[in-house]
Amino acid sequence: MISLNKLYLTLLFLIFSIPLSAQTYVEIVEKAANTEISGTARMQALGGAQVSLGGDISSIYSNPAGLGFFNQSNFGLTGGFNFLNSKANFYGNDTEDSDFRFNTPTLGAVFQNDGKSNSIIKSQGFGLSVTSTAIYDQTEYFTASNPQTDFSGDFYDYIYSIYDQNSFSPEFQNTLPELAYNAYLVDEDNLGLYYIEGTYYPSLPASITYSSDTRGQNSSFNLAYGININDRVYLGAGLNFNFYSFTTETFYTETRSEDALATLNYNQFIDVNGGGISGTFGIIARPVNNMTVGLSYQTRTSYRMNDYAEILVQGIFNNYEYDTGEETIILNNETAIQAYESEYRFSTPGKLRVGATYLFGKKGFITADVEHINYAGMSLRSGSNIDFSDDNNFIENNYESVWNFRTGIEYRLSKAFYLRGGYANYASPMENDENTGATSIYSGGLGYRSSKGFYIDLTYQNKSQTGVNRSPFTIAEPYATDLDRNAPTATIDRSTSSILVTMGKAF
């Protein structure tokens, strides 16, 4: 029997975690279900509150009834910059990471027609737009030297004992244990089954470093139609074609310069691509001249997805002499890579939005929205021979309905200039809020309208999410509960500062 003693205890956590696990697929669905502030710079300055407002290109996606407010055709383009920042605390060590990204939240046009003089339909509008409904750009980094974790031989003994005399079941082939074996990090017994030597308890790693980079967005191509009925009721409907894509790269490293195994690297690359379709229906009413109320409903979105994932496990050895049973070889840089592809479907829940706006004559207005999303209604469907029963059970048992809130105010400084401010709060969809905190967004901006139909809006926005717990890997159940063991966890505060500009022209 061959043995390799210089093996990190952390590798056990990697092997008995689920890197492409049920929760990974669930996180992909949750990411698609999350939509935050979107639209023109004007609407984002108002905190994204727009359900009861009209006359803006953002209405094409948010509430098509708002197209009935246009009295001219309109074209607009929005561009912006995102400044990403994350601060992490990992075993008392503070780290910070930042990046800079460009985005184009909205491009669209509305074509308006007046109704006939004797008709109750005063006007109608047809709109088409491309809108970024969610941007997933995010960076994370944390590190610590000599972290004093409570990893001990107890967990090692437990794993050693439950897997049939130190053996991995053949069902684990083509997964992390096989990669670890190919990188000479675990061994094989005389029956051809993988095992981990259980008589040596390695000391804590000298240092742990983790970093991740996510890039992508959920974009929607929208077609919508809205009408104005007697300047009192506005109705609209739209069709949304969603394009959902992002990539995530994660890098995990343990370093111990004095051991036979000097460095352990565990890296993942995930590329997610897919598309879906949904509908949006809306109504805005004007019960009195200085007030509007609005309601919109976006149906469930059904997605068809394609994923590609690649895992790398690498052991960098200090010229370790490895006895194969037939000869002794020198281990230096040993790497194993495995790629995975999958196809599947999922659906995200519908979104109900209700809002109201109070107008202060021609001086401005205040507006507010609430949005209801039942995240427990997310569901995955089979594809690529994947069984999603555990995933759907996890969704049912851990996700809940939430109410999101948005509010904004606009004040007319002069005939041509406007001042705006807004706030939004997005609740965590998890019943247990330990891993994902609520998100708060503050915004403000200025707007200019010329007498010839040209307009420009400038917005600053700050999004923050505090107290997010992040582990480089997870310990699979039931081991974590039975042994009261948890993977090392960093606490992360995220923030994104954005500058947005919309330019457009009425025609």
Here the CATH number for the domain that contains residue 307 is 2.40.160.60
The pLDDT assigned to 300 comes to 96
The pLDDT assigned to 498 comes to 94
Residue 399 lies in a domain: yes
Residue 2 lies in a domain: no
Higher pLDDT, 340 or 357: 357
The pLDDT assigned to 21 comes to 42
Percent share of the chain, pLDDT over 90: 48
Inter-residue contact 124 to 226 (CB < 8 Å): yes
Closest CA to 162 of 483, 439, 402: 483
The pLDDT assigned to 9 comes to 41
Q: Is the pLDDT of residue 157 over 70?
A: no
pLDDT in tens, 438-450: 789 999 999 999 9
For residue 219, give its domain range.
9-506
The pLDDT assigned to 334 comes to 76
14-18, 126-130, 241-245, range with the lowest pLDDT = 14-18
What amino acid is encoded at 29 in this protein?
A: V
pLDDT in tens, 225-274: 999 999 999 999 999 999 999 999 999 887 876 667 777 788 889 999 99
pLDDT in tens, 459-471: 999 998 887 888 7
Tokens, residue 466: 């505090």
Residue 217 lies in a domain: yes
pLDDT in tens, 370-416: 999 999 999 998 766 778 888 899 899 989 999 999 999 999 999 99
The pLDDT assigned to 490 comes to 86
pLDDT class of 435 with cuts at 50, 70, 90 = low
Residue 4 lies in a domain: no
Q: Is the pTM of this model over 0.85?
A: no
The pLDDT assigned to 277 comes to 95
The pLDDT assigned to 208 comes to 82
Tokens, residue 155: 């967990």
Tokens, residue 423: 């706030």
Higher pLDDT, 36 or 155: 36
The pLDDT assigned to 467 comes to 79
Residue 3 lies in a domain: no
Q: Is the pLDDT of residue 186 over 70?
A: no
Closest CA to 356 of 401, 291, 451, 259: 291
The pLDDT assigned to 481 comes to 56
43-52, 62-71, 189-198, range with the lowest pLDDT = 189-198
Residue 211 lies in a domain: yes
Inter-residue contact 43 to 52 (CB < 8 Å): no
Q: Report the domain count for the chain.
A: 1
Higher pLDDT, 116 or 29: 29
Residue 156 lies in a domain: yes
Residue 484 lies in a domain: yes
First to last CA, the chain: 81
Tokens, residue 412: 């007319």
Tokens, residue 366: 């205040």
Neighbours of 118 (CB within 10 A): 5
The pLDDT assigned to 262 comes to 75
pLDDT class of 205 with cuts at 50, 70, 90 = low
pLDDT in tens, 472-487: 765 555 555 555 556 6
Helix (H) or strand (E) holding 103: strand 93-114
Q: Is the pLDDT of residue 6 over 70?
A: no
Q: Is the pLDDT of residue 349 over 70?
A: yes
Helix, strand and coil in the chain, % to nearest 5: 15, 55, 30
The pLDDT assigned to 278 comes to 96
Tokens, residue 210: 């983790």
The pLDDT assigned to 111 comes to 96
- The pLDDT of 105-120, averaged and rounded, is 90
